[in-house]
Structure 1
Amino acid sequence: MIYGMRFGGYGMGALTDTKVRTAKAAEKAYKLSDGEQLYLHISPAGGRIWRMNYQFGRNDKGKPRQKTLTIGAYPAISLKDAREARDVAKAMLAKGIEPKPADLFERAIAPVDNRATFKSVALAWHGLQKNRWSTVHAKDVLENLETDVFPPLGSKAIEDIQAPEVLTLLQGIVERGAIETAHRTRQRISAIFVYGIAKGEASRDPAASLAVALPKKPKAKPQPAITAIDELRQMIVLCEAERCRAPTKLALRLLALTALRPNELHCARWSEFEDLDGDEPLWRIPATRMKGDLDRKAEDDGDHLVPLAPQSVAIIKAMQSLTGDLPLVFPSDRHVHRPMSENTLRALLIRAGYYQRHVPHGFRSAFSTIMNERVERQWRAAGHEGASPDRAIIDLMLAHVPENKVEGAYNRAAYMPRRREIANDWADLLVGSMWPPEVHIGQPIRWAATGPGKPGR
């Protein structure tokens, strides 16, 4: 077939969709004309390209330059589209403008992706959660998201995010030495995906199993305790303002008053309390539950005696209406025959904004620091020199294990009147003038409505 045999073989507008669609390749390239300089170029390989011949400018001899404009490939560009593009090109030529392929079609507006972005879901999740967090903690979480998470993931549709992207983000945090932050960030990202799934905006949680791909958390370093009485009082106020189970708030207050080790409080049993309605209320913690070696735990007189201030007695009596029919004073919410989780009080402190500022064990440091300073001032104000003998009594109240075991066994039951005075002074300093513990009973434990019979438990 001779090139050009079909060129001009049809009159203006002679092509049809059928003719264009059924045009076959030949040994040599050829053209199918549609008139007015528009034609379809068919290559030997079967490619079909819309082109247009036109004149623009002049050559060295002053004659019009013959040029060809490539409009686009068929079938992406239909016959109708090609004709419209030709008309646009001819209109531009009439105005003295040489057309270019990019000028022939109105650029299509990119389709709007109405799917939820990770950032939009994350902010909705944060807005829901911050009502039960302290202001400080809510701010910390948002800063973590804005600094570490939103830059790589925020603008992406949450449904499109894959596990490798999340892992790359987390590894970047690990590389700067913030392993604990990486684990917390993963937990928050996972919580956001779970929230997105619940809202129908995501179908999976790519962060769920990534903890195993991160380095193990380093052993926790001793966290500082707040040792200023005004700050301690404010901390208790903020913790008790959180919405959670009444036993959790009462357990935290009792731990602060008694300066016990958290596990000694978690496992408290009703059988350990004596003379709650008398003049010398006492908490007798069996030696088997106390910190120490096997010899200490086996001592006949190794029980730790905790004189109870009136404020402590009030907490215990408030708890009787909640768990008085159970063996444990502070049982687990899910398993009443198991003690409260060791993380429960820590979680309350964190929600109240005291992450890395105070831990449950920190009440022992606070009691020791504040009361030792107090008894020293009183000792010197009375004209005495040297260390106050109350220092040894405060150590006894903290159940510090002495190096001299004989002395330790003897002292465990000693100085009870003075220990009771110190316990009362500490309670007055710490929670004096605060609301009574029973105000927490029956209060909502969540911001959302709770089920029947759940408030306060």
Structure 2
Amino acid sequence: MLTNAAAKAAGAQSRAYKLHDQGGMHLLVRPTGTKSWQLKYRWRGREKLLTIGQFPEINVARARILQAQAKEQLEQGVDPSRAQRSADSFEQLARGWHRHHRASWSQTHAADVLASLERDVFPELGARPIGAVQPRELLDIVRLVERRGCLETAGRLRQRLSAIFGFGIAEGLCEDDPAAQLGRAMKKGKLSVPHPALTSIDDCRALLAACEVDRGAAVSIMASRFLALTAVRLAAVRGMRWTEVDLEARIWTVPAERMKLSKPKKGEERFDHVVPLSEEALWILRGVRPASIGGEPQVDRLVFPGRSSGPIGEGTLRELYNRAGFAGRHVPHGWRSSFSTILNEDLGPEWRTDIDRALAHSPKDKVEAAYNRAQLLDRRRVIFDRWGELLSA
């Protein structure tokens, strides 16, 4: 018979394997490290497999109780698999799917995925049994997102819903995917166009000034100005932690795994991105630092936290710019275009390569990308210092 200690100690191997308990129940350990309780039984002459739940959420004692309940159902002439599909809620399934994939996602992306489900799906369908969810209910949910004007978000939500049910099918928790055909009834997104961006330094200053008098949260206004000064991708600022900042050296090092949504695959080489901090950017960091305990930054804390324990919302800065009167003219990602356009004109063509590197654009020459990893921080610092001067003039 298994113990909790033995179950906890079971490590992943190249192939899935089973640790047997009693009465046909075993713990299946997959190569990913996921551990699932499964019960083998016979129903009307056919051998079937019931997934009871995952360890450690369900420990040994609880798994045996659920095993006993399943055997009682068999004695009453009820198929435990069908009874389970009626009992497990959509939220339980969705959170299990999220836990399963969380290790392969960046921290910011994992938080965004869960936040979208908690905001748009769980209030309506979280408590519904998995097997009772109908395509029409899911379509109503994605159409509410479409009505907000977020067609791309609605498309991503449909993909996530389908992935959740696909996970449930693989785990034996449901039989079909009611989200599979939703795309046929959804609105089509607009053709891909460049992100709206301001290309005049006067307009950039006007936007930042308009944000300063907004009644929104101070942390959002500070994050907006810091994003403008560093010209990184929004996800980098949202997930920024104090461990990445060296105030003495005046640099911010964005870890390679946060430069993209997914974590690096095995054998894939990615490099940290070093951002020299201008005096204007340092002023922002000194302004948000006193909010930490004792006036010193905690190494594991976000620099720009949201209302909960996670980062500021994915659409917070876009909404800030809309309220400032720049809807359709500028979005958070647009700062990268503003930075490139204005500085190329200001510094001249001999700085073009350095400006591209400052934006973390990879060289087209793969050999150069592999061998020329020089940060050339002195030239980058000139670029960011000049950008800070231009925005703050």
TM-score norm. by structure 2 comes to 0.49
Q: Which protein shows a greater Rg?
A: 1
Q: State the TM-score, normalizing by the size of structure 1.
A: 0.42
* Structure with higher helix content: 2
